[in-house]
Amino acid sequence: MTTIKGPGIFIAQFIGEEAPFNNLENICQWAKEKGFIGVQLPTLDDRFIDLQKAAESKTYADELKGTVNSFGLDITELSTHLQGQLIAVNPVYDTLFDSFAPEKYRKNPKARKEWAVQQLKYAAKASENLGLTAHATFSGALLWPTVYPWPQRPQGLVEMGFKELAKRWLPILNVFDECGVDVCYEIHPGEDLHDGISYEMFLENVDFHKRACLLYDPSHLLLQCLNYLEYIDFYHQRIRAFHVKDAEFNPTGKQGVYGGYQSWVNRAGRFRSLGDGQVDFKAIFSKLAAYDYQGWAVLEWEDSLKNSEDGAREGAEFIRKNIIHVTDKAFDDFAGTTPDEKLNKSVLGL
């Protein structure tokens, strides 16, 4: 078994115009002071990483890694969540998702998709240059507007949607394979890969590609009323990244899973800072340790109540306390015996 690495922090929700959140050096210093030993980097802000340059220049990648290391931190993974979203966009969301791409690709879905594909390919090579083995992203979604089957979905629509999604991702997965990096899809509402069944449908269509792996985030599973512990039993061999994020679901007589179009603070299901929600992290860390998860535990902070500074500080300590430093011996070794075939036969009456 392997002790999980961490605590790490996904910095996307903290980036801003003011120090210490306005460049890589400042945010690394801040993260170290909060108690983290790793940072997961989003890849759309060149104040933190020039993704294309990291893919094309090993020298730049080494310098970037060196900068992070100089603060006593490691890069846990790169993230292309926003670019991954643009690999597959149903036309109903064209306008809303346009802002995820540079302005010159907006109002041009074909060019936007091509840009996103190239971004993922850069991320594969950049990850390799940085010595990383896992990458965090979204799958995108062609079918999400039809997730609730009313009006009725036309026959064959789902099959066609997953076939097309796989067609778009297979060349990307192959590039990641060449670079020795796993693509870790965050299972998330709004993506076609939003639960275990949809992930399995995708796997079948990419011929169970060995790089089509998972980012485990229990908050999204809890809010779908999905058994997030059994999920680990089913998919532990594919889990290569881990967002440690809490959530709570408190349905009422007025609203449930869909939230009644309310703000986050007024929804029945909402994200919380670590320890303030309903996720059983002791059981999660135990299962991941037992299944020999070898990646990072990375805080993703999202909370509409608690401020981010407290959420980060408390989150680092929460993860540290929950990481199980796995044993290198069995607790009952003192009562064991040496191998003895004659004794074994005697015990069995042979």
| Whole-number pLDDT of residue 288 | 98
Domain ranges of the chain: 5-348
**Rounded distance, CA 138 to CA 79, Å?**
9
For residue 124, what are the contacts with CB-CB under 8 A and spacing of at least 6? 55, 135, 172, 175, 176, 178, 179, 181
| Whole-number pLDDT of residue 332 | 67
CATH code for residues 5-348? 3.20.20.150
| Whole-number pLDDT of residue 222 | 98
| Whole-number pLDDT of residue 336 | 75
**Rounded distance, CA 185 to CA 90, Å?**
18
The distance in angstroms from the start CA to the end CA of the chain is 35
**Rounded distance, CA 53 to CA 126, Å?**
8
The first and second tokens of residue 213, run together, are 């792996």
The distance from CA 75 to its chain's CA centroid, rounded to whole angstroms, is 14
| Whole-number pLDDT of residue 328 | 80
**Cβ burial 294-322 (10 Å sphere, 16+ → b, else e):** ebbbbbbbbbeeeebeebbebbbebbeeb
Contact 38, 7 (CB under 8 A): yes
List the chain pLDDT tens, one digit each, 350 residues. 899 999 999 999 999 999 999 999 999 999 999 999 999 999 999 999 999 999 999 999 999 999 999 999 999 999 999 999 999 999 999 999 999 999 999 999 999 999 999 999 999 999 999 999 999 999 999 999 999 999 999 999 999 999 999 999 999 999 999 999 999 999 999 999 999 999 999 999 999 999 999 999 999 999 999 999 999 999 999 999 999 999 999 999 999 999 999 999 999 999 999 999 999 999 999 999 999 999 999 999 999 999 999 999 999 999 999 999 998 877 666 667 788 898 889 899 99
The distance from CA 212 to its chain's CA centroid, rounded to whole angstroms, is 13
CA 299-300-303 angle, 5° bins: 120
| Whole-number pLDDT of residue 219 | 98
Short-list 288, 181, 280, CA closest to 236: 288
